[in-house]
Amino acid sequence: MTRFILDGAEVEAKDGETIWQVSKRLGTTLPHLCHTDRSGFEPEGNCRACVVEIKGERALAASCRRRPTAGMVVETANGRVDKARRMVFELLLADHASPDPDSAFLGWAGAVGVKASRFASTTAPAAPDTSHPAMAVRLDACIHCTLCLRACREVQVNDVIGMSGRGGESRITFDFAQSMGASSCVGCGECVQACPTGALLPAAGPVRAERSVDSLCPYCGVGCQVTYHVRGDAIVAATGRDGLANHERLCVKGRFGFDYSRHPQRLTTPLVRKEGAPKEPIDPADPFSHFRPATWDEALDIAAAGLKRLPRTALAGLGSAKGSNEEAYLFQKLVRTGFGSNNVDHCTRLCHASSVAALLEGIGSGAVTAPIAEVANAEVIVLIGANPSANHPVAASFIKNAVKRGARLVILDPRGQALTRFASHHLRFNNGTDVALLNAMLHVIVAEELYDKDFVAARTTGFAELAVHLQAYSPDSMAPLCGIDAGTIRAVARLYARAGSAMILWGMGVSQHSHGTDNSRCLIALAMLCGQVGRKGSGLHPLRGQNNVQGASDSGLIPMMLPDYGRVGTPAVRGRFEAGWGQDLDPAPGLTVVEMMNAAQAGIIRGMYVEGENPAMSDPDLAHAREALAGLDHLVVQDIFLTETAMLADVVLPASAFFEKTGTFTNTDRHVQMGRQVLDPPGKARPDLWIIAEMGKRLGLAWSYDGPRAVFDEMRGLMDSLAGITWERLEKEGGITYPAGKAILFDESFPTGDGKARLVPASGLVPAESPDAEYPFLLSTGRVLEHWHTGSMTRRSDVLDRLQGVPAVNISPADMARLGLAEGAMVRIESRRGRVEAVAAADSRLSPGALFMPFCFTEAAANLLTNPVLDPVAKIPELKVSAVRLSPAGK
Contact partner at residue 532 from Mo ion, ligand MGD, none, CB < 5 to 8 Å by partner kind: none
Residues in CB range of 26: below 8 A, 6 or more apart: 6, 11
Contact partner at residue 413 from Mo ion, ligand MGD, none, CB < 5 to 8 Å by partner kind: ligand MGD
Of 51 and 543, nearer to Mo ion (C-beta) is: 543
Q: How far apart are CA 443 and CA 471, in angstroms?
A: 7
* Burial of 886 (C-beta count, 10 Å sphere; 0-12/13-18/19+): buried
Which residues from 542-561 bind ligand MGD, rule CB under 6 A? 545-546
Residue span binding ligand MGD (CB under 6 A) among the ranges 441-449, 664-672, 778-786, 805-813: 778-786
Closest CA to 744 of 272, 375, 291, 478: 375
Q: How far apart are CA 737 and CA 372, in angstroms?
A: 13
Of 534 and 771, nearer to ligand MGD (C-beta) is: 771
Residue span binding Mo ion (CB under 5 A) among the ranges 350-358, 377-385, 557-565, 750-758: 350-358
| Cα angle value 562/567/568 (rounded, 5°) | 65
Bridge partner list, 664: 674
End-to-end CA distance of the chain: 77
Site track for ligand MGD across 206-225, x = CB under 6 A: --------------x-----
Contact partner at residue 515 from Mo ion, ligand MGD, none, CB < 5 to 8 Å by partner kind: none
Q: Residue 599, interface with Mo ion (CB under 5 A)? A: no
Residues in CB range of 265: below 8 A, 6 or more apart: 287, 641, 642, 796
Q: Residue 777, interface with ligand MGD (CB under 6 A)? A: no
In the complex, the smallest distance separating the C-beta of residue 691 from ligand MGD, rounded to whole angstroms, is 8
Of 792 and 847, nearer to Mo ion (C-beta) is: 792
Q: Which of 335, 478, 785, 870 binds ligand MGD (CB under 6 A)?
A: 785
* Burial of 748 (C-beta count, 10 Å sphere; 0-12/13-18/19+): exposed
Residue span binding ligand MGD (CB under 6 A) among the ranges 309-317, 354-362, 781-789, 803-811: 781-789
Q: Residue 788, interface with ligand MGD (CB under 6 A)? A: yes
What b/e sequence results for 37-47 when a residue is b if at least 16 CB atoms lie within 10 Å of its CB, and e otherwise?
Answer: ebebbebbbbb
Q: Mark out the alpha helices in 158-215 (DSSP H runs).
A: 190-194
Q: Which residue number has the CB closest to Mo ion?
A: 545
Q: Residue 586, interface with ligand MGD (CB under 6 A)? A: no
Q: Residue 351, interface with Mo ion (CB under 5 A)? A: yes
Residue span binding Mo ion (CB under 5 A) among the ranges 119-127, 161-169, 344-352, 856-864: 344-352
Site track for Mo ion across 13-52, x = CB under 5 A: ----------------------------------------
Residues in CB range of 871: below 8 A, 6 or more apart: 353, 354, 513, 514, 515, 516, 517, 877, 878
Q: How many residues bind Mo ion (CB under 5 A)?
A: 2
In angstroms, what CA-CA distances link 194 with 136, 146, 156, 241, 577? 14, 9, 12, 13, 50
In the complex, the smallest distance separating the C-beta of residue 840 from ligand MGD, rounded to whole angstroms, is 19
Contact partner at residue 796 from ligand MGD, Mo ion, none, CB < 5 to 8 Å by partner kind: none
Which residues from 230-269 bind ligand MGD, rule CB under 6 A? none
In the complex, the smallest distance separating the C-beta of residue 829 from ligand MGD, rounded to whole angstroms, is 12
In the complex, the smallest distance separating the C-beta of residue 542 from Mo ion, rounded to whole angstroms, is 10
Contact partner at residue 200 from ligand MGD, Mo ion, none, CB < 5 to 8 Å by partner kind: none
* Residues present in the chain in total: 891
Q: Residue 657, interface with ligand MGD (CB under 6 A)? A: yes
In the complex, the smallest distance separating the C-beta of residue 503 from Mo ion, rounded to whole angstroms, is 20
In 3-state terms, what secondary structure has residue 363? helix
Q: Residue 621, interface with ligand MGD (CB under 6 A)? A: no
- DSSP E strand boundaries for 530-606: 539-542
Q: How many residues bind ligand MGD (CB under 6 A)?
A: 62
Which residues from 545-564 bind Mo ion, rule CB under 5 A? 545
In angstroms, what CA-CA distances link 76 with 8, 19, 64, 66? 10, 9, 12, 13
Helix axes 593-601, 622-630, angle to 10 degrees: 60
Q: Residue 847, interface with ligand MGD (CB under 6 A)? A: no
In the complex, the smallest distance separating the C-beta of residue 90 from ligand MGD, rounded to whole angstroms, is 45
Of 387 and 598, nearer to ligand MGD (C-beta) is: 387
The enclosing H or E element of 447 equals helix 434-447
Of 40 and 545, nearer to Mo ion (C-beta) is: 545
In the complex, the smallest distance separating the C-beta of residue 347 from Mo ion, rounded to whole angstroms, is 6
In the complex, the smallest distance separating the C-beta of residue 413 from ligand MGD, rounded to whole angstroms, is 5
Q: Residue 434, interface with ligand MGD (CB under 6 A)? A: yes
Q: Residue 782, interface with ligand MGD (CB under 6 A)? A: yes
Q: Residue 326, interface with ligand MGD (CB under 6 A)? A: no
Q: Are 516 and 871 in contact (CB under 8 A)?
A: yes
Which residues from 481-510 bind ligand MGD, rule CB under 6 A? 507-510
Q: Are 291 and 274 in contact (CB under 8 A)?
A: yes
Residue 128, Cα to own-chain centre: how many angstroms? 33
Task: Give the strand pairing for 408-412 and 425-427.
Answer: parallel
In the complex, the smallest distance separating the C-beta of residue 160 from ligand MGD, rounded to whole angstroms, is 18
Q: Are 510 and 384 in contact (CB under 8 A)?
A: yes
Of 105 and 852, nearer to ligand MGD (C-beta) is: 852
Q: Are 880 and 854 in contact (CB under 8 A)?
A: no
Of 545 and 877, nearer to Mo ion (C-beta) is: 545
Q: Are 546 and 221 in contact (CB under 8 A)?
A: yes
Residue span binding ligand MGD (CB under 6 A) among the ranges 18-26, 94-102, 655-663, 799-807: 655-663
Q: Which of 538, 866, 874, 884 binds ligand MGD (CB under 6 A)?
A: 866
What single string gives the DSSP state of each residue in 231-243?
Answer: ETTEEEEEEE---
Site track for Mo ion across 769-808, x = CB under 5 A: ----------------------------------------
Torsion sign (Cα): 816, 817, 823, 827:
negative
Q: How far apart are CA 574 and CA 862, in angstroms?
A: 40
Q: How far apart are CA 414 and CA 529, in angstroms?
A: 25
Which residues from 350-379 bind ligand MGD, rule CB under 6 A? 350-351
Of 307 and 351, nearer to Mo ion (C-beta) is: 351
Q: How far apart are CA 130 and CA 125, in angstroms?
A: 15
Task: Give the strand pairing for 651-654 and 634-639.
Answer: parallel
In the complex, the smallest distance separating the C-beta of residue 244 from ligand MGD, rounded to whole angstroms, is 19
Upper half-sphere CA count for residue 624 (Cβ side, 13 Å) = 21
Amino acid occupying residue 280: E
Q: Residue 638, interface with ligand MGD (CB under 6 A)? A: yes
Site track for ligand MGD across 513-532, x = CB under 6 A: --------------------
Q: Residue 387, interface with ligand MGD (CB under 6 A)? A: yes
Q: Which of 783, 795, 875, 885 binds ligand MGD (CB under 6 A)?
A: 783
Binding site for Mo ion (CB under 5 A): 351, 545
Which positions lie near ligand MGD, rule CB under 6 A?
Answer: 220, 320, 322-323, 347, 350-351, 384-387, 390-392, 412-415, 417, 431-432, 434, 507-510, 512, 545-546, 611-615, 618, 638-641, 643, 655-658, 688, 780-783, 785, 787-790, 792-793, 855, 862-863, 866, 879-880
